Amino acid sequence: VLPGLLDRSRLETRDRAFATELVYGTTRMRRACDWVVDLHGRGRLDLNVRVSLRLGVYQLVFLGTPPHAAVSSTVDIAPARARSLVNAVLRRVASEPVSFPDEATALSYPDWVVERLSADLGPGPARVALEAMNRPPNVTVRADGYVQDLASQWVAAAVGVRLGDRVADLCAAPGGKATAMAHESAAVVAASDRNADRVGLISANAQRVRTTNVIALAADGTRPPYRSGSFQRVLVDAPCSGLGVLRRRPDARWRIEEADVDRLADLQRRLVDAAVPLLRPGGTLVYSVCTLTDAETVDVDRWVAERHPTLVPLPLPEGSWEAHGRGGRVLPQTADTDGMFILRFRAP
């Protein structure tokens, strides 16, 4: 919603950046803001009043906006009947230090995300990762002008595409990695995605970076429409819980549910199962996810080891990867990138 509103606004660059910070930041820190709002605002608040208060609290507690500016500008946009309430609550917030009741509230994540990452990464690294994902992402731009996180660029490079290769990218939309692979190597990339609406994005992005080597098509990656042994390289950049990219998607933490993790881990295995027969002898399979749960990373690797024992794991590719099982992981705090996991294999 926000980019459309900003495009139609007459705001200057600095004000656009501030509006973006307010919307993204308040969305990320919603739980923490609500806790502060509920501490001071008694009774049930209707949503418009609550949203005004969240915006004010975010500025006072997290953004360091001067209190008089945060309070008066928030009061100005609050519903008229609630202005004195908003004024009173925000003045109280501005005058008292906040102490949150627990880590999940202070860091503003659902309990299950904090618990799951603490169990899988260890409490220390999990906390640092969660803090890192409360900060806005770096913007990195490829040589061809495409905006893509560095860790995603490392994944595309790790596929090791060479001129003349045929490449299948089974979960390709919006085409970030497909266009990177096609551009770097001039190899032909069959870029498919199950979500037909998103396939158009692959073509549009290929056009934008001026490559004609990406063939975009709608197809379910668990039943790819290709003959066995057709590809030198296959990439499964699988749908995942996205717990490594929460800094980029401020609302994602409130939408993903713990039950999704197991469902996605099952889909990830089925995608790998469908990818293996597509490889030519000696071909390369890359599996990647932008998440940090064991279920979607090392557990998938353990399953591959049993299910496809002839696949030979390849060494860690270039990038800030640390060994994780037979694959590599980069945490959001390691190199200020998205959190990512990669497995690479050579077919017999």
Ligand X SMILES: C[S@@+](CC[C@H](N)C(=O)[O-])C[C@H]1O[C@@H](n2cnc3c(N)ncnc32)[C@H](O)[C@@H]1O
Active site positions, annotated? 290
Provide the residue type at 170 as one letter.
Answer: L
Query: What is the C-alpha to C-alpha distance for residues 346 and 348, in angstroms, rounded to an integer?
Result: 6
Site string for ligand X, 4-33 (x = CB under 6 A): ------------------------------
For ligand X, the binding residue among 90, 173, 199, 234 (CB under 6 A) is 173
Return the residues of window 129-168 that contact ligand X according to CB under 6 A: 152
Q: Which of the ranges 114-122, 190-198, 207-215, 295-303 carries the binding residues for ligand X, by CB under 6 A?
A: 190-198
Asked if 195 touches ligand X (CB under 6 A), the answer is yes
Strand partners, 289: 341
Q: Which of the ranges 106-114, 193-201, 307-315, 316-324 carries the binding residues for ligand X, by CB under 6 A?
A: 193-201
For ligand X, the binding residue among 91, 198, 280, 308 (CB under 6 A) is 198
Asked if 175 touches ligand X (CB under 6 A), the answer is yes
Query: What is the C-alpha to C-alpha distance for residues 160 and 176, in angstroms, rounded to an integer?
Result: 16
CB of 37 to ligand X, least distance (A): 34
CB atoms within 10 A of CB 318: 8
CB nearer to ligand X: pick between 105 and 230: 230
Asked if 193 touches ligand X (CB under 6 A), the answer is yes
CB nearer to ligand X: pick between 108 and 179: 179
Given the structure tokens 């090392």, which residue do they identify? 298
For ligand X, the binding residue among 25, 41, 56, 239 (CB under 6 A) is 239
Give the torsion sign (CA, 273, 274, 277, 281): negative
Cα-trace Rg, the chain: 23
CB nearer to ligand X: pick between 85 and 275: 275
Asked if 171 touches ligand X (CB under 6 A), the answer is yes
Spatial contact of 321 and 154, defined as CB atoms under 8 Å apart: yes
For residue 345, which of 301, 303, 292 has the smallest C-alpha distance?
301
46: Cβ contacts below 8 Å, ≥ 6 apart: 79
CB of 255 to ligand X, least distance (A): 15
For residue 237, which of 279, 201, 290 has the smallest C-alpha distance?
290
* 189 membership: H or E segment, kind and range: strand 188-193
The contact set with ligand X (CB under 6 A) reads 152, 170-177, 193-195, 198, 220-222, 237, 239
